[in-house]
Amino acid sequence: MKKLLLLAVAGLAFAGVAVVALQQWSIGKPVTLDIKLGDPNRGAYLARMAGCITCHTNTEAGDPPLAGGLALPTQFGTFYSPNLTTDRKTGMGDWTVKDFARAVRQGVSPAGEPYYPAFPYPFFTKLTDQDIADLWAAFKTVPAASVPSKTQDIKFPYSFRDGLKLWRAAFVDFTPFEPDPSKSELWNRGKYIVEGVAHCGACHTPRNLAGVRQIELRFTGADGLPEGGKSSPITTKALKENGWEINTLKYALKTGVQPDGDTFGGSMGEVVRDGTSFLGDDDLTAIATYLLEKDQ
């Protein structure tokens, strides 16, 4: 009995040490940015492509754009998107461009806390310095809205935020985007959009119980998206089998109309409405080209 008690105490002490170690673990690398000046027009365009506006605007509640507060119910609990306006207290008004770069590409808050991967920074690690600078220039034009960010409503043990430091160290690929010189510029642009900025895999690749995307099932579609949603497979094979071509894929991303005349619903309806319908012809061509050629 005594032995058991001793063991339990030792176990607890060990857990305590682990918790303290995690809390003390300082994450994130120093930020280097080669680009000093951003273009707010390009940035606003990227904010559409990246879904910033879609996820950080509570349209239904009639809240101001990018003031956050949109609920994302998942198996881990409910996430609420934070306020991204220039409000100094409740938004990003006091941030520097380096704070922004670290948040977006490394998933680390200015206070050094890890973000939950409900924020798709594991994709944004691929963003170029220019795109970061452009996005920041655009965010600086957003009118301040004083809407306090809601507390994340996450279940234990996921509520232990420092645990994310392990998750991120184990599962996030922080290497920058590398174009493939054997492929066309269009293909590479498509890859950058699909696997970086537009983070298609966040919904189209199934995740395991730890919320990690299952690479071997890449783009094969997923069940159990927030609010019981499902996503279709978008591997090259599946797209071709379902009769997609460059032209029809572009048109669907622009208008939401599929080749059979049905229109997108669910979260893809939102993605088109608030995101891809704003994209230019060249980028739509790039996305469609990459999706239809990537697995060949």
| Binding-site ranges for another protein (CB under 8 A) | 40-41, 43-45, 47-48, 53, 57, 59, 64-66, 138, 141-143, 221, 223, 228-233, 247-248, 250-251, 254-257, 259-270, 272-274, 277-282, 284
Between CA 102 and CA 107 the distance in angstroms is 7
Between CA 284 and CA 291 the distance in angstroms is 11
List Cβ neighbours of 2 (8 Å cut-off, separation of 6 or more). none
CB 205, CB 219: distance < 8 Å? yes
Side chain identity at residue 97, one-letter code: V
Closest to another protein by CB, 235 or 267: 267
Query: SS3 of 146, please?
Result: coil
Closest to another protein by CB, 142 or 198: 142
Closest to another protein by CB, 125 or 205: 205
Closest to another protein by CB, 55 or 108: 55
* Shortest reach from residue 258's CB to another protein, in Å: 9
* Shortest reach from residue 239's CB to another protein, in Å: 14
Closest to another protein by CB, 48 or 165: 48
* Shortest reach from residue 238's CB to another protein, in Å: 11
What is 110-127 written as a DSSP string?
A: TTSPBPPTTS-HHHHTT-
CB 248, CB 259: distance < 8 Å? yes
Question: Backbone phi, then psi, for 37, in 5-degree steps?
Answer: -105, 135
Positive or negative: CA dihedral 261, 262, 263, 264: negative
Side chain identity at residue 84, one-letter code: L
* Shortest reach from residue 104's CB to another protein, in Å: 16
Closest among 118, 275, 92 to 194, alpha carbons compared? 275
Side chain identity at residue 151, one-letter code: T
Closest to another protein by CB, 163 or 259: 259
Closest to another protein by CB, 109 or 220: 220
Closest to another protein by CB, 109 or 242: 242
* Shortest reach from residue 240's CB to another protein, in Å: 17
* Shortest reach from residue 292's CB to another protein, in Å: 16
Between CA 230 and CA 202 the distance in angstroms is 12
CB 204, CB 224: distance < 8 Å? no
Please report, for residues 130, 141, 145, 277, 280, the alpha-carbon distance to residue 40 in angstroms, rounded to integers and kept in the order given. 11, 8, 19, 19, 16
* Shortest reach from residue 208's CB to another protein, in Å: 18
* Shortest reach from residue 134's CB to another protein, in Å: 11
